[in-house]
A = this chain, B = another copy of it.
Amino acid sequence: MSANLILESDLQSARARIAEHIHRSPVLSSEQINHLAEAELFFKCENFQKTGSFKARGATNAILQLEETQREKGVATHSSGNHGQALAWAAQKLGVPCHVIMPENAPKVKIAAVKGYGATVHLCAPNLAARENGLKAVQEQYGCTFIPPYDHPNIIAGQASAAAELIEDLHDLDLIIAPVGGGGLLAGTALSSHYYAPRCKVIAGEPAGADDAFRSFYTGERVNEHKPNTIADGLLTTLGEHNFSIIQDLVSEIIRVEDSEIIAAMRLIYERLKIVIEPSCAVPLAAILQQKERYKNRRIGIILSGGNVDLAKLPF
Give Cα distance in the complex from A275 to B52, angstroms.
11
**A311 partner, pick from B26, B271, B275, B307, beta carbons under 8 A:** B271
**A276 partner, pick from B26, B28, B274, beta carbons under 8 A:** B274
**Is A47 located at the chain interface by the 8 A CB criterion?**
yes
**Contacts of A52 on B, CB cut-off 8 Å?**
274
Q: Could you tell me if A274 and B274 are in contact, using CB atoms closer than 8 angstroms?
A: no
Q: Which residue of B lies closest to A277 (CB)?
A: B274
**Is A112 located at the chain interface by the 8 A CB criterion?**
no
Q: Which residue of B lies closest to A49 (CB)?
A: B274
**Contacts of A276 on B, CB cut-off 8 Å?**
270-271, 274-276
**Contacts of A270 on B, CB cut-off 8 Å?**
276, 311
Q: Could you tell me if B47 and A274 are in contact, using CB atoms closer than 8 angstroms?
A: yes
How would residues 17 to 36 of chain A score, 1 for a CB under 8 Å from any chain B CB and 0 otherwise?
00000000010100000000
CB distance from A260 to the nearest CB of B (A): 16
**Contacts of A316 on B, CB cut-off 8 Å?**
311-312
**Is A267 located at the chain interface by the 8 A CB criterion?**
yes
**Is A137 located at the chain interface by the 8 A CB criterion?**
no
How would residues 295 to 316 of chain A score, 1 for a CB under 8 Å from any chain B CB and 0 otherwise?
0000000000001000110101
Q: Could you tell me if A274 and B311 are in contact, using CB atoms closer than 8 angstroms?
A: no
**Is A42 located at the chain interface by the 8 A CB criterion?**
no
**Contacts of A47 on B, CB cut-off 8 Å?**
274
Q: Could you tell me if A274 and B275 are in contact, using CB atoms closer than 8 angstroms?
A: yes
CB distance from A140 to the nearest CB of B (A): 34
**Is A48 located at the chain interface by the 8 A CB criterion?**
yes
User: Among residues 25 to 77 in chain A, which have CB atoms less than 8 Å away from a CB atom of chain B?
Assistant: 26, 28, 47-48, 52
Q: Could you tell me if A48 and B311 are in contact, using CB atoms closer than 8 angstroms?
A: no
**Contacts of A271 on B, CB cut-off 8 Å?**
276, 311
How would residues 193 to 230 of chain A score, 1 for a CB under 8 Å from any chain B CB and 0 otherwise?
00000000000000000000000000000000000000
**Contacts of A307 on B, CB cut-off 8 Å?**
274
Q: Which residue of B lies closest to A278 (CB)?
A: B274
**Contacts of A275 on B, CB cut-off 8 Å?**
274-276
Q: Which residue of B lies closest to A276 (CB)?
A: B274
User: Among residues 90 to 142 in chain A, which have CB atoms less than 8 Å away from a CB atom of chain B?
Assistant: none
Q: Which residue of B lies closest to A267 (CB)?
A: B311
Give Cα distance in the complex from A311 to B311, angstroms.
11
CB distance from A107 to the nearest CB of B (A): 13
Give Cα distance in the complex from A277 to B311, angstroms.
13
CB distance from A23 to the nearest CB of B (A): 10
The interface of chain A, by Cβ under 8 A from chain B, is 26, 28, 47-48, 52, 267, 270-271, 274-277, 307, 311-312, 314, 316
Additional A-B contacts beyond A274-B276, A274-B277, A311-B314 (10; CB < 8 A): A28-B48, A47-B274, A48-B274, A267-B311, A271-B276, A271-B311, A274-B275, A274-B307, A276-B276, A314-B314
